[in-house]
Amino acid sequence: MRQILPFPTLLSGFVAVLVGYASSAAIIWQAAAAAGASSAQIAGWMTALGFAMGISTLALTFWRKAPVLTAWSTPGAALLVGGLQHVTLAEAVGVFIFANALIVLCGVTGLFARLMRVIPHSLAAAMLAGILLHFGLQAFVSLQDNLLLCGSMLLAWLALKAFAPRYAVVAALVVGCAAALMNGEVNTSALSFSFAAPEFIAPVFTPQLLISVGIPFFLVTMASQNAPGFATLQANGYQVPVSPLIIFTGALALLLSPFGVYSICIAAITAAICQSPDAHPEPSQRWRAAAAAGGFYLLAGAFGGSITALMSALPVAWIQMLAGLALLSTLGGSLVQAMAQENERDAAMVTFLVTASGITLAGVGSAFWGLVAGGLCYAVLSLRRA
């Protein structure tokens, strides 16, 4: 069993799922609450989302034999928090179905695949580095107010990185848990485990709402979630067909929309954890980490009603430091790839800085605008060289 699924590989899958839930579970709850969902309905959404991510991750990973993780659209959920105010739950489901249908159409026509083929590899790597920079900085900023917890995790990671690098993140996790328990920072009384069955909601389609919320939600999901997801795969050397994956994830989300699955996308940040050397020294074997993540997603879905309680029991600084350390090697590798070509370095730097800035323009996140700004620089400088 250890040969099939080494512990660091299993851990990478666990950390990927933990980071995914920790970074966006609260936003999803806010979006559902904005549409008037009850606590039981919101818990059902979390169950459906966990199962959807588990099924799609396992299906795509075994199909392509590559570490293809799926995720819900966190930028999309943030948009829904404001867009679904004073909207019925049935109308919200109508928005989900409309947006996911547009995603399927985008995959069938091949438009998204053509756009991905023209993105230079250096810009894709720079965008990934810009996305991950926040997590790296956040990990070390947490040292300021949580020196004992985060400092012990950092020292444990460093010691193992020098002598047994594959277990460096394992050491940080174990030492961090021990430090949190000793400091009384784990709220065990908040833990509760229960199953919340998803509830079917018949959709209602309101044309005005589809235009004002559905179309922006579709654009944000494609530009701020799927584009970085495929860029992450590309930057880590995994060539997968774009359109079939878009069709699969869009169609599955379309089928499950009435149960609260508002989106299924190709993951970027959590996928980077399973695509790093820490997951497995052999790139061809890192799909096993993604498969482990799919299993953990299914497990998380079974306890969808307990996700928020579980997240609240863990110290935020512990999650931030663990995520930062887990993504450190991926961030470094992305920067190397982004700056490797001297004639593309300026465009890559622009992409990196705009993405890392976190700006949002017209409701679209910085990852998209980083590619736009870097692509414009790349085109202009290429013309000058020509």
**How confident is the model over 359-385, as pLDDT tens digits?**
878 766 788 888 889 999 999 998 877
Per-residue pLDDT tens digits for 121-147: 888 888 888 888 888 898 899 898 899
pLDDT in tens, 199-233: 999 999 999 889 888 888 888 788 778 988 998 89
Radius of gyration of the chain (CA): 20
- SS3 category, 169: helix
**Average pLDDT of the residues in 335-346:** 91
Query: Which contacts qualify for 344-349: CB closer than 8 Å, 24 or more apart?
Result: 344/120, 344/122, 344/123, 344/378, 345/122, 346/377, 346/381, 347/120, 347/122, 347/123, 347/374, 347/375, 347/377, 347/378, 347/381, 348/122, 348/123, 348/125, 348/126, 348/374, 349/126
H helices present in the chain, as ranges: 7-34, 39-64, 74-83, 89-109, 111-117, 121-141, 147-163, 168-182, 207-209, 215-221, 227-235, 242-256, 269-274, 287-302, 307-313, 316-326, 328-339, 345-357, 366-385
At residue 312, the pLDDT reads: 62
